[in-house]
Chains A and B, each alone.
Chain A
Amino acid sequence: DGGITQSPKYLFRKEGQNVTLSCEQNLNHDAMYWYRQDPGQGLRLIYYSQIVNDFQKGDIAEGYSVSREKKESFPLTVTSAQKNPTAFYLCASMAGGGTQPQHFGDGTRLSIL
């Protein structure tokens, strides 16, 4: 079955720790995205990548980093510089072309210990 897999489902971060959220897709989509969602709020774009080995900052990139070494994978690292990381993190992918929808993974819920 084609889809987007995010892991882990739940993640806890200690003070000063970097954590990495995994996102893998087998849809052969070119573009991948990371969003953050806080309770009762909309989606905020962190980073996106439209092609392998290239990515762009979104609206709230500070304290986060990404890589796109393979088409299928777009991991997100939440660094210790992100002082308020508790949120629901969503990864999405999209086929090429500006008229296509994004498809989402099931999300990772990150909390501070």
Chain B
Amino acid sequence: QKEVEQNSGPLSVPEGAIASLNCTYSDRGSQSFFWYRQYSGKSPELIMFIYSNGDKEDGRFTAQLNKASQYVSLLIRDSQPSDSATYLCAAPSGNTPLVFGKGTRLSVIA
């Protein structure tokens, strides 16, 4: 069974710090990776996607992909209390639907 693994947290960071969220995946054939943010009681919202090795930046968010190590991460710079949420990593696996990790809960302390 293809898997996407995340540390469940909670990960606590002070306001203004960099939050680093990590994800590993088992399917070497996965070509695209997605990060979703889910606030408590709400549905997941796509915040970043990355297809190529290296870094991709969008505002305060940076996604990093290392296909050789089967590792994808999300960095949040200048973390704000409003970033407190659960972050889900997802990757496709063959013709099956996206495989989601269980999510990492981030808490940004003011």
Q: Which residues of A are interface residues toward B (Cβ below 8 A)?
A: 31, 33, 41-43, 45, 48, 58, 88, 90, 94, 98-107
Contact = CB atoms under 8 A, between A and B. Distances in A.
B42 interface: yes
Secondary structure call for the B interface? loop
A106 B38 CA distance: 11
A109 to B, nearest CB: 8
A94 B90 CA distance: 13
Contacts, number: 48
Interface of B: 31-32, 34, 41-46, 49, 51, 88, 90, 92, 94-95, 97-98, 100-103
A34 to B, nearest CB: 10
A90 B41 CA distance: 11
B46 A101 contact: yes
A90 B43 contact: yes
Contact of A43 (B31, B41, B42, B100): B100
Given A33-B97, A98-B94, 11 more contacts: A43-B100, A90-B43, A90-B44, A98-B32, A102-B34, A102-B97, A103-B46, A105-B43, A106-B43, A107-B42, A107-B43
